[in-house]
Amino acid sequence: MSDIKASDAKATFKRVKRHFSPSMALAGKFTGQGAVEAGSNGCRITLSDGREALDFGSYAVALLGHRHPAVVDAVRAQLDSMPTSTRSVLNPVPALAAETVVDYLGGTLPKVYFGGSGADVVEAAVKLARVATGRSTVIAVQGSYHGKTLGALALTHHPRFRGNLDALLGGAVHVDPEDAEAVTRVLAETEVAALIFEPVQGENGVTALDPEILERWCADAKAAGAFVIADEIQVGLRRCGERSIALAAGLPVDAVLLGKALGGGIVPVSALVCSEELYAPLAADPVLHTATFSGHPLCTSAVIPALTAIEEHVADGVRISAEMAAGLAGIVGDHDTVVTDVRGRGLLWGIDFHTPEFAGEVQVGLAQRGLVVSTCLSRPEVLRLIPPIVATSADVAQALFLLRGSIEQACAATA
């Protein structure tokens, strides 16, 4: 148990308000019901007032829950030996992590660039595609989310995040996810460096792209000499069942982007795993794209135990997915006037409510009852349930029970 006390919560809210954002402080105070995080273990977090909350959120980072022992042990051992590289002498930890990630995805994509966030590897992939082809246009998908740094933000579709920055966000074309001919038309108008897509758009309300349309798009892009990039930062690593959705579907991708769960819920690390052709500019000039903490030993030490632990729980992921599907179907059947749709795959589920306001009421109830979920900032009427792969059947049943109670409370409050 952490030594953070209830009295520390007020000080935290004041500091966040002063040094970060007043709205962040208000939202955090609301979600924690006046408490702050004090500790975590497995699927649960402990709050400063002593309450526990079940974590089915954390924006897909906690696939292995919190403080998975094997990952903690590996990171602690690295901390005790050499947490940071000189960057002048080679370090074996990121090299072995790269080999492991390549093998994990089947070995067809042999090159790796490690980042610290999802946006890092989006930036690297798109930059390499532009340098390798000598072209500037990148095709992305309406509803997409690829990050908020300027290069990645050009590919992120929702205007909320783009603000008044459009003048700085050139080079991206967004296509209709239901239009099989869309990529063909763009290619007829301009030379394209890359096509980038999320097989399942998490931020866009857990919306899966049509596999047949993706297959057509990829074939068209490849035929025109463009690279194909699958952004699986949120949905890969068994979050949606497969190690890589794109590779499992046989799509001819040149890169798969991984992140979030790659650090085992302990440290931040992401990876661009790609073909020789896409990586060629960086192979020829290793300082073309660098970052001080790319391949950081402390962070990459988590990769191997994280992947090993994920694979040990594959059967649990299948079980949890089935339990979530059945439980959510029952909730929809009982509350179809306020729940308009449920979409999901594996360990990622989106619940559509009939209005954003009602979704907010449900979130109030969840905060009171002790269930952490992730909102969809692009789709405020959708709440995301993102269970850890280590969740027990009792954990899933509790989450569904709390969700049902919160919906019933919201119905009573808005009647």
The tens digit of pLDDT for each residue in 302-312 reads: 999 999 999 99
Angle at 236 between CA 342 and CA 325, to 5 degrees: 25
Of 75-79, 168-172, 216-220, 227-231, give the lowest mean pLDDT range: 168-172
pLDDT digits (tens, 9 = 90+) for 342-362: 999 999 999 999 999 999 999
DSSP 225-282: T-EEEEE-TTTTTTTTSSS-HHHHTT---SEEEE-GGGGTTTS--EEEEE-HHHHHHH
Answer whether 125's CB lies under 8 Å from 274's CB: yes
Give yes or no for residue 1 having a pLDDT over 60: no
Question: Distance (Å, rounded) from C-alpha 52 to C-alpha 67?
Answer: 16
The pLDDT of residue 2 is 53
CATH number of 43-64+313-414: 3.90.1150.10
From its phi and psi, is residue 384 left (phi > 0), alpha (psi between -120 and 50) or beta?
beta
Give the C-alpha separation, 288 to 132, whole Å. Answer: 12
In which band, very low, low, confident or very high, does the pLDDT at 167 lie, cut at 50, 70 and 90?
confident
DSSP state of 174: E
Domain boundaries, the chain: 43-64+313-414, 69-311
CATH of region 69-311, choose from 3.40.50.10490, 3.40.50.300, 3.40.640.10, 3.40.50.11540: 3.40.640.10
pLDDT at position 178 over 60: yes
* pTM for this model (two decimals): 0.96
